[in-house]
Amino acid sequence: MSGFTKFFSPGEGSESQAELVSVAEACLDGFTERFNAQDLNGMDSFLNFPHIMYSAAELLIWEKPGQLPLDFFDKLVDGGWARTVTSQKTPVLVSKDKVHFRVHYTRQTDDGTILTEHDNIWFITRVEGRWGIALRSY
């Protein structure tokens, strides 16, 4: 099968949709857990590279781990952030090597006050057998 044809016809896998969603969701949850632990390297371990982020009309591509500034969490904490809570992860497209989720989460203070709410689209992909977050659209 040519590269172009294979791109649009990736074939079938042996996992059920529920199994694919479960493993992709575990990747998303692992990232959030590392985010709340303020663990930049741990967060990177749940990403696939290149990693793509869209925000408004801007595109950011990280070719390798270690791209977040070391003071990334300082700015969040200074604004009152204590944790991020994901309240909804809805799979919107499932195939053998990727799951797209609509993700709703809040950034909260220690007492649970909501600072901000976010609706995003996240693509979780399997590359060489490893699941990771490939794209986040904010």
Can you give the pLDDT at residue 57? Answer: 86
SS3 81: coil
Length of the chain, please? Answer: 138
| Statement: residue 101 has pLDDT above 60 | yes
Instruction: Tell me what pLDDT residue 78 has.
Output: 98
What does the mean pLDDT of the chain come to?
94
Contact between residue 26 and residue 46 where contact means Cβ atoms under 8 Å apart: no
Amino acid of residue 39: D
* Distance in angstroms (rounded) separating the CA atoms of residues 12 and 15: 9
Is residue 4 scored above 70 in pLDDT? no
Q: What is the mean pLDDT of residues 5-30?
A: 86
Give me the residues paired with residue 40 across strands: none
Evaluate if residue 13 carries a pLDDT over 90.
Answer: no
pLDDT for the residue 30? 99
Residue 56: pLDDT band with limits 50, 70, 90: confident
Task: Please check the confidence at residue 1 and state whether its pLDDT lies above 50.
Answer: no
Mean pLDDT across 108-137: 98
- Predicted TM-score (pTM) of the model is 0.91
Q: Which residue has the higher pLDDT, 7 or 65?
A: 65
14-137 is classed in which CATH architecture? Roll (3.10)
Q: Rounded mean pLDDT of 30-48?
A: 99
